[in-house]
Chains A and B, each alone.
Chain A
Amino acid sequence: MGSSQHYRFHKLSTVQPNSSTLETLQKLKKLQNLVQQSKVAAANIRQVIKALDKVAAQAGQPFLFSKCLEINERLVRNTLARCDDVKYRTFRAGQAKALLVYINGLTDTNKLETNVIDCLMLVIDSAKYEKRQISKAENEDASKGPHDSFNETLSDNIALVRRRTKDSDLKVEILEIGARTKTSVALLYIDDLVKPGLVDEVRNQLLAIRIDMVILAANIEEFLTNQVWNPFPNVLATERPDKTVAGLYDGRLSIIIDNSPSVLILPVSLQDFMQSVDDYTTRPSVASLIRFSRYISAFLAIFLPALYICVVAYHPGMIPSGLSFFIAELRAKTPFPASIEALLMEALLEIFQEAIIRLPQKLSAAAGVVGALVIGTTVVEAALANALLVVVVATTGLASFCMPSYTFATALRVFRIPALVAAATLGLYGVAIFFVVMIVYLCSLHSYGESYLGDLFDITLLEDWKDGLLRFPAKFLKSRPKRLGTIDKTRKGDTSGKS
């Protein structure tokens, strides 16, 4: 690692050879606290400067324009600091000096060229490349709400976000990652909202990435976590600009990677994967019901086959006698033990899912029919599995399709087989144990100081419960997610001094 100018990791003992680890740890902790406090102070100072600038300004303007171009430029640059998509061009217009400020991607460069620049003889961005038009979101379509989605061009994607907000506090930092590809990666956040220190943390992480190429968003995603074997996603990938903007105003960051239509939002926890844009376009009561059913689906997606085994192989007394006899008669025709039977069907389900995803769209419909109808019924007729199990496994599959995030749904699938094994070895006790272990595991996952699952039921975060398991009406959703530790906690613009 030659040019590790941003970070260099050492063993603590080599840095501080003569002190005990405990002491050093304490010192380090103190230092960390100081850094954190200074970050909070810096954020506060920025707010104060902004407010001061605004004192003399006319309504609707961030500061008072002076007659001196240099001062004006400094003020503009200050206000739009860390907005790498804003371009500045100074030129002479006749006698006077002039400054052209425009946002890359939101401005039609052709028109700019013909109308403004040509007569000024300036050169703007002359790069030209083939790109895909902005089209409908393919993987996360919402029935109501905007239909535009990100494409593969970074400037277009930034522009899509910019177009939705006229906030000068939306910062766009463009970094280059990838030793060879030198891919542009934009880091977006709202400066006066985001938790102090979070941006630095993420930026440092991004800069510390040492790879030679960045082709996919996932290349970046994997470097943003310590828990590399964790199947659950710790960043939310979306192709919807509206979702991105909503995330930014929750106090999150988003990372746009050039050549990738999926934009990363972070930090996120489990409850964010359970939310869909449709939750906010339907009535709150309906949305709450749907969201709650999504949580139940997530549970079923993991535990339903396990519960089936519990009932069939351990505790047939737990279901009504009539049903129990019916299941026994069904099961009497199949030769395998319940656990093997369930594993078999699970394997079939996975094969179906994989086949349908890999096939071209037209063929996949046919494959779906083959899978569902032909195999489903013949498996029963061939006495490889009983009809109830087919229902159980199909329900499990459907339940995992209910998840708004595909990555999250695949994570649920990972845990299905261990749950099944737990049920097969220790019945309901095994399932109870596995459930508890899963809860502990999910709580132990941390993404930037947030517990992955634990914040869902944290009694110190009662405000967040309004938009957790249920979705309260917008009237009640006045605060930003408290767990994200934003500077400005309310959603009312006025209190933070914004005009």
Chain B
Amino acid sequence: MPDRISNGNAANIALKIIAAGIGLCVFLLTTGCWDSKEIQDRNFVLVAAIDDADIVNKSEADKQKAVTQTFVQKQGTKEYMLSLQLLNLAKTEGKGGGPQAQRTFVFSNIGKSLFEMNRDILGQSSKSLYWEHLSAIVISEAAIKKQGLLPIIDFLRRDPEMRWRTKIFITPGEARAIAQYIPPNGEAGGRYLDGMLKNHKKNIHTAGAKTDIGFISQAIDNDADYAIPRLDYTDNVLKLGGLALFKNNTLVGYADEYITQGIRYIYGTERSAIISAKCPEHPDDEIVFELFKNDTKFIPHIEGDNIYFTLDITMRGNIGEINGIAKHDINDLAFLHRVEQAIAQTVSQNARDAWEFQQQLGIDIPNTKARLKGAHPFKWKSFEDRWDEIYPTIPLIVSVNVNIQGIGEHD
């Protein structure tokens, strides 16, 4: 039995290996579980809100608090205030109508480096902070005005713990207040913000498809312009709508809901939209079109020295609402056709307005530059240097085809 003989030798080696393995196990066990951190011993960061450090000067109480919420810094200045919304695990059930503890709480800190502030917050917290469930990043306009967006999001994209699909918001007001906001349904604040932006599929007044930290990071890498959803907060009312427009590192301006809608038409990211147009026969009435399928072609053209873009949109949807008192003969195909044209008119006007708005600001959210370069790599070289001059003059030729497929349940 030759196997038995050779096994004897191997068994010796194997035994030694096993002995080494056991030794290793003992070693591992005695030195502790590597980087094990129980889920309940983690403070989950849900929202990271970044404000200008000067925010504390608004009220005297804040100013006094700020003395504690910081650390001695040898270098740099106190630029930002980082407020972290953390999940409260010791939530009492609130039995018998007792006061229910908040789902979340907020810690703030003032400094320059986000990472350093993050670690200094540990001075206020009994558990260490974990960012793996970060749901939203809120940055105030004032903070961006300081040195732009880049220094703020660098930490968020450098650390391997971060996710790339984290939602990011710009607020003209105070970001800390949004972190402190308590949603009426008792949900954790961060999840609430995340959910709000997920509605972008139905809410055309904001944009959520390509605006998270991953896409913004890509846009920055590629020198492309980008947009970040705008969040307004006044007096315990939170509202999402419009976009903050960025060129490279700097905030150039805001797009209101109307322009946002137009940008999304150009981009072709409207999955569902409500478009209201004037009734072609009764100017006082509004006919509302509910879009549920669209097909958008946004194509660059170069003919000689002429550069232009065409935008072909085919929209399908229903009549969603007729807001008016006049009697409309909705079963008349000719009338419906006029309605279709009116809606198409509205849409193309909207797209053109958004286009011109961007040209005036010198901003290029649909990335026309890359589209031109991609489609015409050789011709692109001839005007690459003059792009900034050429861009505001490029016309957009819009053709919209609206197709009403249903008139609703009750007329």
Binding site for B on A (CB under 8 A): 12, 21, 25, 28-29, 32, 226, 311-314, 316-317, 321-322, 324-325, 327-329, 331-332, 337-339, 421, 424-427
Does B210 belong to the interface (CB within 8 Å)? no
Chain A residues, CB < 8 A from B42: 316, 328
Chain A residues, CB < 8 A from B35: 314, 427
Please tell me which one of the listed residues A311, A317, A332, A337 contacts residue B133 in the complex, with CB atoms under 8 A apart: A317
Chain A residues, CB < 8 A from B39: 311-313, 316, 324, 327-328, 331, 338
1/0 per residue, CB under 8 A from A, across B28-47: the answer is 11000111111110101000
Residue of B nearest to A28 (CB): B2
B5, B161, B163, B188 pick with most chain A CB within 10 angstroms = B5
Chain A residues, CB < 8 A from B163: 317
CA distance A321 to B42 in the complex (A): 13
Does B130 belong to the interface (CB within 8 Å)? yes
Of B87-95, B301-309, B381-389, the stretch lying at the interface with chain A is: B87-95
CA distance A311 to B37 in the complex (A): 10
Please tell me which one of the listed residues B2, B87, B89 contacts residue A32 in the complex, with CB atoms under 8 A apart: B2
Please tell me which one of the listed residues B34, B91, B132, B191 contacts residue A425 in the complex, with CB atoms under 8 A apart: B34
Residue of A nearest to B32 (CB): A425
Q: Contact: B36 with A424, CB < 8 Å?
A: yes
Does B69 belong to the interface (CB within 8 Å)? no
Q: Contact: A314 with B36, CB < 8 Å?
A: yes
Chain B residues, CB < 8 A from A329: 40, 89, 91
* With known contacts A312-B39, A316-B132, A339–B33 Cβ distance under 8 A: yes
Question: What's the nearest-Cβ distance from chain B to residue A388, in Å?
Answer: 10
Please tell me which one of the listed residues B2, B40, B130, B191 contacts residue A25 in the complex, with CB atoms under 8 A apart: B2
Residue of B nearest to A12 (CB): B5
CA distance A32 to B1 in the complex (A): 8
Chain A residues, CB < 8 A from B29: 421, 425
Chain B residues, CB < 8 A from A317: 130, 132-133, 161, 163
Chain B residues, CB < 8 A from A322: 191
Chain A residues, CB < 8 A from B7: 226
Please tell me which one of the listed residues B6, B37, B133 contacts residue A321 in the complex, with CB atoms under 8 A apart: B133
Chain A residues, CB < 8 A from B33: 313, 339, 424-426
CA distance A314 to B34 in the complex (A): 9
Q: Contact: A332 with B191, CB < 8 Å?
A: no
Q: Main secondary structure on chain A at its contact with chain B?
A: helix
Residue of B nearest to A32 (CB): B2
Since A25-B6, A313-B37 are in contact, a sample of 14 more A-B pairs with Cβ atoms closer than 8 Å, ordered by chain A residue number, is: A314-B35, A314-B36, A316-B42, A316-B130, A317-B163, A321-B191, A325-B133, A328-B87, A332-B89, A338-B38, A339-B33, A424-B36, A425-B29, A427-B34
Residue of B nearest to A31 (CB): B2
Chain B residues, CB < 8 A from A12: 5
1/0 per residue, CB under 8 A from A, across B1-25: the answer is 0101111000000000000000001
Chain B residues, CB < 8 A from A338: 38-39
CA distance A328 to B35 in the complex (A): 18
CA distance A156 to B135 in the complex (A): 71
Question: What's the nearest-Cβ distance from chain B to residue A338, in Å?
Answer: 6
* With known contacts A324-B44, A325-B87, A329-B91, A425–B38 Cβ distance under 8 A: no
CA distance A339 to B37 in the complex (A): 11
Residue of B nearest to A324 (CB): B133
Residue of B nearest to A333 (CB): B40
Question: What's the nearest-Cβ distance from chain B to residue A387, in Å?
Answer: 14
Question: What's the nearest-Cβ distance from chain B to residue A314, in Å?
Answer: 6
CA distance A226 to B89 in the complex (A): 54
Please tell me which one of the listed residues B36, B90, B130 contacts residue A313 in the complex, with CB atoms under 8 A apart: B36
Question: What's the nearest-Cβ distance from chain A to residue B370, in Å?
Answer: 33
CA distance A32 to B5 in the complex (A): 14
Question: What's the nearest-Cβ distance from chain A to residue B197, in Å?
Answer: 14
Residue of A nearest to B42 (CB): A316
Residue of B nearest to A313 (CB): B36
Please tell me which one of the listed residues B34, B37, B38, B188 contacts residue A325 in the complex, with CB atoms under 8 A apart: B188
Q: Contact: A325 with B44, CB < 8 Å?
A: yes
7 closest A-B pairs by CB: A317-B132, A331-B40, A332-B89, A332-B40, A321-B133, A313-B36, A425-B28
* With known contacts A313-B37, A425-B34, A426-B34, A328–B6 Cβ distance under 8 A: no
CA distance A396 to B91 in the complex (A): 31
B338-375, CB < 8 A from A: none
CA distance A337 to B2 in the complex (A): 50
Residue of A nearest to B37 (CB): A313
A226, A322, A425 pick with most chain B CB within 10 angstroms = A425
Chain B residues, CB < 8 A from A29: 2
Question: What's the nearest-Cβ distance from chain B to residue A141, in Å?
Answer: 40
Chain A residues, CB < 8 A from B38: 312-313, 331, 337-338
Residue of A nearest to B87 (CB): A325
Chain A residues, CB < 8 A from B25: 421, 425
CB-defined A-B contacts under 8 Å, sample of 29: A28-B2, A311-B39, A312-B39, A314-B35, A314-B37, A316-B130, A317-B130, A317-B132, A317-B133, A317-B163, A324-B44, A324-B133, A327-B39, A328-B39, A328-B42, A328-B87, A329-B89, A331-B38, A332-B40, A332-B89, A332-B90, A337-B38, A338-B38, A339-B33, A424-B33, A424-B36, A425-B28, A427-B35, A427-B36
